[in-house]
Amino acid sequence: MSAFCFTYTFSEGTGNDDQFYVKLFNGATGAILREYSVDRTSAGIICWSLLGMSPSVSLLGLEFQLRSWDLATDSSVKISNVKQEVNAPPVLLSCAQSQVPYNSLGQAYTDAVDGCAIKVRAEYLTETVELNKATVLTITGGYDAAFGTIIGMTTLKGMTVVKGRSIVSGIAIQ
């Protein structure tokens, strides 16, 4: 999997009605591929999956805009850590104080203990997973590359439920 990521901080002055926009576009044609907007003070990491993008897109462009709708001038945007991540693991196991990335949902499930959460990126996984543990687990699919925002669905080749009390959401079975 490949993703395009960056960190942002948007600071809007008191009483301002400004917006921060970012667009990822095809550098050859100018066509917008992804876009995101923020209309209040916030900070975070944005990661856009490049999975399924046409192989004809060989050049990416990134456009940042700060739009001011009033006369106040104290709004600002800071962008950092702009990068493309290649082959990042699609699964994150979160248990108590640790977060461990996995290349396989099945392996993350095997290693999970009672109370853990498993996050899966919004992509297609070719594995069939068997849920067979008598533990309480949450498995949520559809995450962006940074596992911070749900942006869609995870598609899984198959899933068999044998026993347990797992809560599964955001996953489509093909």
Residue 93: enclosing H or E segment and its boundaries? Answer: strand 91-95
Bridge partner list, 44: 8
Rg of the Cα trace of the chain?
Answer: 19
- Predicted confidence at residue 51, as pLDDT, reads 62
Q: And the tokens for 45?
A: 């990491």
d(CA 82, CA 8): 9
- Predicted confidence at residue 130, as pLDDT, reads 92
- Predicted confidence at residue 45, as pLDDT, reads 72
Residue 7: burial class (beta carbons within 10 Å; 0-12, 13-18, 19+): middle
Domain ranges of the chain: 2-86, 91-173
Residues of the chain where predicted confidence (pLDDT) is lower than 70:
1-2, 49, 51-52, 69-73, 85-87
120: nearest Cα among 144, 136, 96: 144
Q: What is the pTM of this model?
A: 0.54
Q: Which CATH architecture has domain 2-86?
A: Sandwich (2.60)
Q: Residue 62 CB: number of other CB atoms within 10 A?
A: 14
- Predicted confidence at residue 73, as pLDDT, reads 64
d(CA 41, CA 14): 10
